[in-house]
Amino acid sequence: MSRLGEKFTKEKVLLALAAPLLALVAAFLLSSVVIAATGKDPLHAFVVMIDFGSKSDSQVWIINKAIPYYLSAAAVAIGFRMNLFNIGVDGQYRVAAFFAAVVGGALSLPGVLQIPVIILTAMAVGAVWAGIAGVLKTTRGVSEVITTIMLNSIAGSLIGYFLSEDRLAVKDGNLFHTPNLPASGHFFTIPTDPKPVYGTVLIAVVIGLAYWFVLGRTRFGFDLRAVGRSEPAAAASGVSVRRMVVTSMLLSGAVAGLVGMPTLLNESFNYGTDFPAGVGFTGIAIALLGRNHPLGMAFSALLWGFLERTGIQLEFEEYAQEIVGVMQGVIVLSVVIAYEIVRRYGLRIQQRRVGAELAAEARTGEKAEVGA
């Protein structure tokens, strides 16, 4: 029996490695075809990407860029784990960053208080914004897909309304932005050469650990995943599905509220033009790519940063600007498809083996009967 267990794990490892490998090769080939179709040399493109992307300033840039992406993916993944499709991370993060910037710009506390106040404001606002969708789903049965995407657009209008001179913003040249945070609201940076890594990378690490621990190691996480697998089964074993829906939307929104913090506390220090729409949707792609796994999502967030960093260099080398967008799409599709193929293949061998074992058992049984 122990021999069988050993064989099983080896096979499992092989299968687990097969999926990402298959995806990588497929993405590489497909991207090459696309680049070649634009009349450019695909190999040179990859050389440029690896060469430029591995430079020290590129490394720092990629890490800084990956922080909000990772947080965004974590927010999306919390929903995914219980079968909730929170596509409103985009709106949640922007509303949260906006009001956190307003609060931070209005207060002037010492750093030990100022930064937590800003961060907690962001989490609270994000949670409330996502909570609206959660409450609507449990009380009125409205699909969260519809409400969250509509809340995205309401978020944009709300920010647009308040982001004007006579309301919550100040005018700076041709632009509006919220008042600047005082110096006590600046998060520390980790000095590296030539540009520093944002200290907010720690927030991402903490969220990653919390995600792993809460979802994988607690009763609450178990309930959440149980609801995700089967609502009736979870309800039958005593889990309140409604409460789980609202709680996980609140959690997802709170994490979404953090997405804007690296930019706000380490870079812009105000809410102006630095909080583009779309980061929430990037989070969906990264969560898919990382298979909702805390480490997987970290790798995908870094990969995304790498692609964006090198994409600009590709444009500089006269490749089409859109190539990187195509690559990102191809990678996500390849990963999703590759995992499905490998899963089905694994299922088939398992079935075959069980079949063979059963047949063998039947045969020995027959023999024993004959012997008797």
Contacting other proteins (CB under 8 A), which of 60, 76, 127, 287?
Answer: 60
Beta strand extents in 161-313 (DSSP E only): 170-172, 175-177, 189-190, 197-198
Interface with other proteins includes 86 (CB under 8 A)?
no
Rounded to whole angstroms, the Cα distance separating 175 from 178 reads 10
Find the DSSP H helices in 259-293: 261-263, 279-289
| Rounded least distance, CB 313 to other proteins, Å | 7
CB 261 within 8 A of CB 199: no
Which of the residues 125 through 164 are near other proteins (CB under 8 A)?
Answer: 156-157, 159-161, 163-164
Rounded to whole angstroms, the Cα distance separating 46 from 39 reads 15
Which backbone phi and psi does 197 adopt, to 5 degrees?
A: -85, 140
| Rounded least distance, CB 225 to other proteins, Å | 21
Query: From residue 164 to residue 183, what is the string marking binding to other proteins with x (rule CB under 8 A)?
Result: xx-----x-xxxx-------
Interface with other proteins includes 277 (CB under 8 A)?
yes
Rounded to whole angstroms, the Cα distance separating 199 from 188 reads 5
Segment lying near other proteins (by CB under 8 A), choices 61-69, 127-135, 285-293, 336-344: 61-69
Interface with other proteins includes 313 (CB under 8 A)?
yes
Segment lying near other proteins (by CB under 8 A), choices 9-17, 119-127, 226-234, 269-277: 269-277
Q: Could you check whether the bond before residue 194 is cis, i.e. omega within 30 degrees of 0? A: yes
Contacting other proteins (CB under 8 A), which of 16, 21, 146, 209?
Answer: 209
Nearest Cα to Cα of residue 241 among 266, 224, 217, 218: 224
Interface with other proteins includes 328 (CB under 8 A)?
no
Segment lying near other proteins (by CB under 8 A), choices 2-10, 55-63, 223-231, 284-292: 55-63
| Rounded least distance, CB 280 to other proteins, Å | 11
Q: How many residues bind other proteins (CB under 8 A)?
A: 48
CB 69 within 8 A of CB 204: no
**b (16+ CB within 10 A) / e for 252-279:** bbbbbbbbbbbbbbbebbbbbeebeeeb
Q: How many other C-beta atoms can be found within 10 angstroms of the C-beta atom of residue 91? A: 28
Segment lying near other proteins (by CB under 8 A), choices 25-33, 72-80, 128-136, 312-320: 312-320
Hey, what are 304's tokens? 């995304």
Rounded to whole angstroms, the Cα distance separating 130 from 248 reads 9
Segment lying near other proteins (by CB under 8 A), choices 10-18, 33-41, 110-118, 262-270: 262-270
Instruction: Give how far the C-alpha of residue 159 lies from the chain's centroid of Cα atoms, to the nearest Å.
Output: 24
> Smaller CB distance to other proteins: residue 209 or 347?
209
Interface with other proteins includes 52 (CB under 8 A)?
yes
Interface with other proteins includes 194 (CB under 8 A)?
yes
Rounded to whole angstroms, the Cα distance separating 202 from 204 reads 5
Segment lying near other proteins (by CB under 8 A), choices 120-128, 140-148, 192-200, 361-369: 192-200
Applying CB under 8 A, the residues found at the interface with other proteins are 52, 54-61, 63-65, 156-157, 159-161, 163-165, 171, 173-176, 190, 192-194, 197, 205, 209, 263, 267-268, 273-274, 276-278, 308-309, 312-313, 315-316, 321, 325
